[in-house]
Amino acid sequence: MWNEVDLQQASFRGIEFDFVEIEDGFEKSVAEYEYPYTDGSDLEDMGLKARVVRLKAAFLPENYNNLSAFIEALEMQGPGEVVHPVFGSFKAIPKTVSIRADERAYYTDIDITFVEHKDLKFAVPVSTAGAKASESSAETSNTMDESETALSGATEESGIPGDVPSDGLGDAGFLSTIAGYANKVRAAMKKINSVVATVKTYINAAAAPFKLISSGVSFATNLPGSILRSVASAIESVAGAYTSLINAPGKFMASLKYGLDKIETALGDFKGDSSLKATWHTSKSTALATAATIEFAADEAAENGGTLSLKAYGMDSDVSRTQLLTIDEIDRVAAAAREAINTAIQAVREAYPGTGYELEQSLKRQALIVQQTADTIRLKREKIIEYEVPGDMPIHLIAFKLYGDFNEAERLLRINSIKNPNFISNGTILRVYA
């Protein structure tokens, strides 16, 4: 039995009790992001889990009369106020209770595990898709800088001077300038340009380049900078040819991936040059990551009833969507970007062993931005449920029935494909906000 010098005092639901042992602890929620063929994980601190307090309450003869009331307080539903001797007052629920009693000695001890309760309101993460698109753009610049640094070291090791001037290089100027320095690069770029021309002819488009990579990036006027600029130009030329699809959710991303995959297939083994392979995959994955964040930002704008300007990417147009991405489309867009980034990370590790760490980390940050943005959009979309129309009626009446506001009809139209909003037949299944 414990004596009085061992006791401390606390209370629960206003009932005071003595305790002899106390243990406090906390645990963090940590999201882990892993990549194939890459050691370690990216960790994201998601905040603290509920605090846990374990203690042993002791009821001695002098306060034994409080025991029944205390047990009733523990059995009550819902959180109650705990007055902690160190941390003060907080709300908690007794998760586990274990009672040992000696009625002859008028002594009982109770092991209790309190779990802290907070009145939380779930909210979609504060970071918006538009903000993440800006963050992605900033990381793109960092990725290209690190790619140029890594490529400079690789070309110098291959006996190719890194400071070959490249002022005024177009496709022809590029091929001419690097002749005699990098025949493998010449052949690869010729193949890239050939496939780009084929892709653009196939879709009968001569659009302006969509600056998914080069917006805000200053390529150096040397051979590595020229290689990066030329690869980026080819990729952005293909992207520009597909911009007519950007108003259709997910279609632009899927088409861009298709066009870039055709170029990659034509390149084969990249003439056996691992640094050129890494350059291609880094540029391709960066373009697809940027395209993914644009898809998500356009979706967010559509849900809010607005449009997304593409001026930051060199396009004098806005994205104006009438439909939102489905959960499957969100997952496909994110997966396409992540797959390309995973491939780029592996290519970087092969091409720049021991020197490509910063480039690899930048690619990982791009993957994290894409995933966080996808999660934000997905959380919003998961609040959408199916609703069976109870009779023939227009969309505005459905909106009024569900939300008491005719104006909500516009939001319903954006998440459904409805041929005639003025007549929706009985039994039609619509997607609605819960």
Count the helices and strands in the chain (H runs, E runs). 11, 12
- Residue-wise pLDDT for 199-215, tens only, equals 666 554 556 788 889 88
Query: Is 286 in the same domain as 400?
Result: no
**346 and 396 within one domain:** no
- pTM value? 0.61
Is 147 contained in some domain? Answer: yes
CA-angle at 144, arms to 141 and 146, nearest 5° = 110
In the chain, the amino acid numbered 267 is: L
Residue 251 lies in a domain: yes
Total of domains in the chain: 3
Indicate the pLDDT class of residue 362, thresholds 50, 70 and 90.
very high
Dist CA 20 CA 3 (whole Å)? 9
- Both 19 and 39 in one domain: the answer is yes
Q: Which CATH number is 92's domain given?
A: 2.40.30.200
Which residue is listed with tokens 């959009």?
Answer: 377
Q: State the Cα–Cα distance between residues 64 and 365, nearest whole angstrom.
A: 60
Q: Which of 342, 357, 381 is the last residue of a domain?
A: 381
Same domain, 112 and 181: no
- Residue 33 included in any domain: yes
pLDDT at 124 (0 to 100):
41
Residues 164 and 107 in one domain: no
123 belongs to a structural domain: no
Angle in degrees, CA 378, 383, 387, rounded to 5:
130
Residues 79 and 144 in one domain: no
The whole-number pLDDT of residue 175 equals 45
Tell whether 249 is covered by a domain. Answer: yes
Q: Are 125 and 145 contacting, i.e. CB atoms less than 8 angstroms apart?
A: no
pLDDT band at 15 (very low <50, low <70, confident <90, very high): confident
Question: Is 392 among the domain residues?
Answer: yes
Q: What is the pLDDT of residue 171?
A: 45
pLDDT of 162: 47
For 81, phi then psi, to 5°, come to -85, 125
Closest among 186, 9, 158 to 83, alpha carbons compared: 9
Residues 335 and 409 in one domain: no
Among 92, 116, 140, give the residue marking a domain's end: 116
Say if residue 55 is in the same domain as residue 185: no
Q: Are residues 179 and 328 in the same domain?
A: yes
Is pLDDT above 80 for 261? Answer: yes
Task: Yes or no: say if 65 and 400 are a contact pair by the CB < 8 Å rule.
Answer: no
Mean pLDDT of 288-294: 93
Note down the domain range covering 157.
Answer: 129-381
Model pLDDT, residue 18: 83
Helix H, strand E, coil C: the string for the chain is CCCHHHCEEEEECCEEEEEEEEEEECCEEEEEECCCCCCCCEEEEEEECCCEEEEEEEECHHHHHHHHHHHHHHHCCCCEEEEECCCEEEEEEEEEEEEEEEHHHCEEEEEEEEEECCCCCCCCCCCCHHHHHHHHHHHHHHHHHHHHHHHHHHHHHCCCCCCCCCCCCCHHHHHHHCCCCCHHHHHHHHHHHHHHHHHHHHCCCCCCCCCCCCCCCCCCCCHHHHHHHHHHHHHHHHHHHCHHHCCCCCHHHHHHHHHHHHHHHHHCCHHHCHHHHHHHHHHHHHHHHHHHHHHHHHHHHHHCCCCEECHHHCCCCEECCCCCCCHHHHHHHHHHHHHHHHHHHHHHHHHCCCCCHHHHHHHHHHHHHHHHHHHHHHHHHCCEEEEECCCCECHHHHHHHHHCCHHHHHHHHHCCCCCCCCCECCCCEEEEEC
Residue 122 lies in a domain: no
Last residue of a domain, one of 362, 381, 400: 381
CATH of the domain at 423: 3.10.350
CA distance 42 to 341: 14
pLDDT band at 184 (very low <50, low <70, confident <90, very high): low
Asked if pLDDT for residue 224 goes beyond 50, the answer is: yes
Check whether residue 202 and residue 109 sit in a common domain.
Answer: no
pLDDT digits (tens, 9 = 90+) for 122-149: 444 445 787 888 888 888 888 888 888 8
- Are residues 292 and 394 part of one domain? no
On whether both 218 and 281 belong to a single domain, the answer is yes
Say if 174 falls within a structural domain: yes
Q: How much is the average pLDDT of 59-67?
A: 77
